[in-house]
Structure 1
């Protein structure tokens, strides 16, 4: 049958757990978050640079890509010069009704499409519903690289708005960064091909 000692011991343990459950406890409070203070302290030990670099992944690094700043240049532009230069340098600023259209053959996709000169090769492919490779969309990696199979220098067929990864040797072999490549002629391209 039922052992009275076991029943009493079980009831006592249940009662103890219920009492502990409803007691106030030690009222432990978590310690103060010092992560921002620690980051500020670490940042203060690293020397400041003259200007921030967008692709600099280290605290206080500031390395400049080769040729980014001309020798002796102070980095200051005359008033209005930056806006005029930016407007003429960015093909995406060309209005749709003024943009010329070129035929681009996407070899791997097996299709030729018309692409306006104010649209990147990557954007044109995405508008067709193709899953083309890319990462940064800034011309600062080679995830979106493609190979122009029409022969010759890639800049005979496209204009890179920005290009921080491909050198003249790679572009001479026909490689391009599709995320910043605007067409200036008809050509064929194999996407997903990097040097």
Structure 2
């Protein structure tokens, strides 16, 4: 025994809601897309840097920086010609192989001692052995490739070329960046260690 008045009111109320729902102007509208505005705002507030973006092997990068290192003489003359490169005299990698000294480097975690030339980084030498050593930028701008020289002060055993992350305190504790560390003496290294 359904009350006819209640049934009629229920049907009328339902029809009213359905009509209002499908009426023009009452449908849900998505919010305006502001992604581009947010990105432009963020880009305007982030300062520009004069070093290249690090390459991360997690996204398929990982190669060394590509390009020429400009010396003071080349800067005075203007821009380099296409394909022309100048060599940074202070860069240990510019030492010819036949003139490079060789040092014994013990990689503790890998359980091996290998010979490393003074013109090769510790990271490259380890990778030449087939070891999967940690790294990210390969330019001394992060600490992903960090290692610990257990023999003492890092600067007594390696020369850092373009180290931008380790300070004197970390270096004196024996920390090194294997991607820019060239050996200058025999040493013992624990890879995967950072301050």
Total equivalences in the alignment: 139
Distance 1:42-1:102 versus aligned 2 partners, 3 A rule: same
CA distance in 1, matches of 2:75, 2:52: 24
1:95 Cα deviation after fit? 1.0
The equivalent of 1:67 in structure 2 is: none
1:171 matches 2:171: yes
Distance 1:144-1:79 versus aligned 2 partners, 3 A rule: same
Distance 1:192-1:54 versus aligned 2 partners, 3 A rule: same
Structure 2 segments unaligned to the other structure (5+ residues): 1-35, 55-70, 81-85
For residues 120-161 of structure 1, give each alpha carbon's deviation from its aligned partner in whole angstroms, at most 9, with x where no partner exists: 00000000111111111111111110000112x101000001
The TM-score normalised by the length of structure 2 is 0.61
CA distance in 2, matches of 1:185, 1:81: 34
The equivalent of 1:145 in structure 2 is: 146
CA distance in 2, matches of 1:167, 1:110: 29
CA distance in 2, matches of 1:78, 1:121: 28
CA distance in 1, matches of 2:145, 2:72: 35
The TM-score normalised by the length of structure 1 is 0.61
Which of 44, 50, 54 is the matching residue for 2:51?
Answer: 54
The equivalent of 1:134 in structure 2 is: 135
1:183 matches 2:189: no
Contact 2:123/2:179 (CA < 8 Å) preserved in 1?
yes
The equivalent of 2:160 in structure 1 is: 160
CA distance in 2, matches of 1:182, 1:105: 14
1:52 Cα deviation after fit? 4.3
CA distance in 2, matches of 1:181, 1:120: 5
Distance 1:150-1:81 versus aligned 2 partners, 3 A rule: farther
> Alpha carbon RMSD of aligned pairs, Å?
3.4
The equivalent of 1:79 in structure 2 is: 73
For residues 62-101 of structure 1, give each alpha carbon's deviation from its aligned partner in whole angstroms, at most 9, with x where no partner exists: xxxxxxxxxxxxxxx8534789x95222111111111111
